[in-house]
Amino acid sequence: MSAEPVVGTDRVKRGMAEMLKGGVIMDVVTPDQAKIAEDAGAVAVMALERVPADIRAQGGVSRMSDPDMIEGIQKVVSIPVMAKARIGHFVEAQVIQSLKVDFIDESEVLTPADYANHIDKWAFTVPFVCGATNLGEALRRINEGAAMIRSKGEAGTGDVSNAVTHMRTIRAEINRLSSMAEDELYVAAKELQAPYALVAEVAKRGSLPVVLFTAGGIATPADAAMMMQLGADGVFVGSGIFKSGSGVASNEDALRRAKAIVRATRHFNEPEVIAEVSRGLGEAMVGINVADIPVHHRLEDRGW
Amino acid sequence: MKLAPIIGVLAIQGGVREHLASLEVAGATAVAVNSLDDLESVQGLVIPGGESTVMSKLAIHDGLLEPMRAARAGGMPMYGSCAGMIMLADRVSDARPDQEFISGLDISVRRNAFGRQVDSFEMDLEVQGIGGTPFPAVFIRAPWVEQVGDAVQVLSTINSGPRAGTIVAVQQGPLLATSFHPELTGDVRIHATFVELVRQYA
């Protein structure tokens, strides 16, 4: 600590993530959608040009959003605004930080820019969230400076199965560490390919040292509530709100769906509330079964 | 040994877990407040940090806002950190037009006054009444106090840097509020102050 103000500290970055707990972060592609998300009770919005479902449908290289687009969204909402940079693309991250975005998602939803290295996130004032499919990956991202972890899932599919697998994996691996003798943690660190100090810290506290959200394939209030019951601290919803069975959801439908997911996340242990908010939501996004996606098109394998 | 007062933490969203842990260390029995029954079981209430827009909206939806206002009017001690300070303030700038508050604390606050997350900071601050060394204050997209009523005691102002002179901690009878987040630091002196307040007023 210091008698003078210090920005970008660990506590300030991780603390920002703590304040989002219990909340829903929504993907938005226009200022109108951002307003709907804020009206519905989102704790933050993720500004991007195409939702994952469209990225998947349209293919091609997917990059950081246009700064004009991000600023357009910052202007209309008072809640935090996040934006995505490609894995390893530290210049996209520098650009996004210069726009005073509140959180950067180093995201496998975009096309990776570096197949060996992630961004050195300690070099930034803005906090980062990164995806992880297992504990080792989560700890490697935290070691690089991530202030928040989200399970990966298969974004843009509406299929929650991968998010479930990854959340269960991370939780199970944490439980396993907690039950180990201290002298077994050295080998555990080797197996997890993660620094010993972080492994020992997780074993001691029984949780990650940062907030753990869930993302990828969450399309309904019940999906969100299930992920919360599985131990997520909060939920990212991508295509599930502004996409419907027939394509783009009407604003009315999107608002109803967004509110329903916010309430289901808050009352994740109350099936009566989840039943109530699930009524009359209309057709959910069409969805793709993860099993039908060719392995080389799966997002979960991006990042290492 | 003194009896531990029962203190609730409004559990809609945000830094709930950390406040519960800090209150326990500071000598209270801490409970998460999710329902009317929970609210009726506590002698004091902490409104945590988080998104004030979300807290306000869901408190209304869950039928908790009016009961919290009534509890406050009935003299229940309350402590708000960050978004919680906004929820307790009588006057709020830069709020959403449809945002509603518990109110009762005669202060004017400005939401997100220190700027966006890249401007969030931490620094050591002198805080009246907590004793000992300066307090490690963590500010996250924090509000500040622009004006205080006569009954309000200023407990802390920023003493250096570009924001020197800004009021960031206040007390008015059983109501306590800070712009910053003591629950993130492991230093429980502010929570201990609140536990004493609850003992005194409850």
Mean pLDDT of A134-145: 98
Catalytic residue among B18, B181, B191, B196: B181
> Which range is least confidently modeled, A57-66, A217-226, A288-297?
A288-297
Nearest CA among B125, B145, B138 for reference residue B181: B138
Express each pLDDT in B153-162 by its tens digit. Answer: 999 999 888 8
Contact flag A7-B119 (C-beta cutoff 8 Å)? yes
Confidence of residue A250 (pLDDT cuts 50, 70, 90): confident
pLDDT reported for residue A39: 95
Nearest CA among A262, A240, A51, A73 for reference residue A163: A240
Q: Is residue B180 part of a domain?
A: yes
- Non-local CB neighbours of A202 within 8 Å, separated by 6+ positions: A135, A139, A174, A177, A178, A208, A209
Contact flag A262-B120 (C-beta cutoff 8 Å)? no
Selected residue of A6, A20, A78 to mutate for chain B interface (largest B Cβ count, 10 A): A78
Confidence of residue B96 (pLDDT cuts 50, 70, 90): confident
From chain A, the residues in CB contact with B158 under 8 A are: 5
pLDDT reported for residue A296: 65
Confidence of residue A55 (pLDDT cuts 50, 70, 90): confident
CATH number at B156 reads: 3.40.50.880
Contact flag A80-B123 (C-beta cutoff 8 Å)? no
From chain A, the residues in CB contact with B140 under 8 A are: 12, 15-16, 19
Q: Is residue B81 part of a domain?
A: yes
pLDDT for A47 beyond 80: yes
Q: Residue A195 belongs to what H/E stretch? A: none
Beta strands B78-81; B44-47: pairing state: parallel
pLDDT for A297 beyond 90: no
Confidence of residue A239 (pLDDT cuts 50, 70, 90): confident
Inform me whether the C-beta atom of residue B123 falls under 8 Å from chain A C-beta atoms. Answer: yes
Q: Is residue B196 part of a domain?
A: yes
From chain B, the residues in CB contact with A20 under 8 A are: 14, 50-51
Query: Between A243 and A204, whose confidence is greater?
Result: A204
From chain A, the residues in CB contact with B61 under 8 A are: 263
Mean pLDDT of A177-201: 97
Nearest CA among A135, A132, A130, A110 for reference residue A119: A130
Contact flag A11-B122 (C-beta cutoff 8 Å)? yes
A–B CB contacts, 8 A cutoff, strictly below: 138
Nearest CA among A139, A167, A130, A121 for reference residue A8: A121
pLDDT reported for residue A284: 66
Catalytic residue among A13, A84, A152, A243: A84
Mean pLDDT of A268-292: 82
CA dihedral A98, A100, A103, A104 (to 10 degrees): -20
Q: What average pLDDT is seen over chain B?
A: 96
Amino acid (1-letter code) at residue A90: F
Q: Is residue B1 part of a domain?
A: no
- What region does B31 belong to: left with phi over 0, alpha with psi -120 to 50, or beta? beta
Asked about A152 being catalytic, the answer comes back as no
- Domains of chain B: total: 1
From chain B, the residues in CB contact with A21 under 8 A are: 13-17, 50
Q: How far apart are CA A47 and CA A37, in angstroms?
A: 11
pLDDT reported for residue A299: 74
Confidence of residue B121 (pLDDT cuts 50, 70, 90): very high
CA dihedral A163, A122, A27, A152 (to 10 degrees): -10
Interface of A with B (CB under 8 A): 1-9, 11-12, 15-16, 18-23, 38, 41-44, 78-80, 97, 100-103, 125-127, 262-263, 266
Q: Is residue B176 part of a domain?
A: yes
Closest by Cβ to B136, choosing from A1, A44, A126: A1
pLDDT for B137 beyond 70: yes
Chain B nearest CA to A96, separation (Å): 11
Does the global pTM surpass 0.90? yes
Contact flag A5-B17 (C-beta cutoff 8 Å)? no
Q: What average pLDDT is seen over chain A?
A: 92
Express each pLDDT in A62-107 by its tens digit. Answer: 899 999 999 999 999 999 999 999 999 999 999 999 999 999 999 9
Percent of chain A at pLDDT exceeding 90 = 76
Express each pLDDT in B12-67 by its tens digit. Answer: 999 999 999 999 999 999 999 999 999 999 999 999 999 999 999 999 999 999 99
From chain B, the residues in CB contact with A15 under 8 A are: 15, 120, 138, 140, 181, 184
Inform me whether the C-beta atom of residue B13 falls under 8 Å from chain A C-beta atoms. Answer: yes
Q: Residue A220 belongs to what H/E stretch? A: none
Per the structure, the complete domain to which residue B51 belongs is given by 6-201
pLDDT reported for residue B21: 97
pLDDT for B92 beyond 70: yes
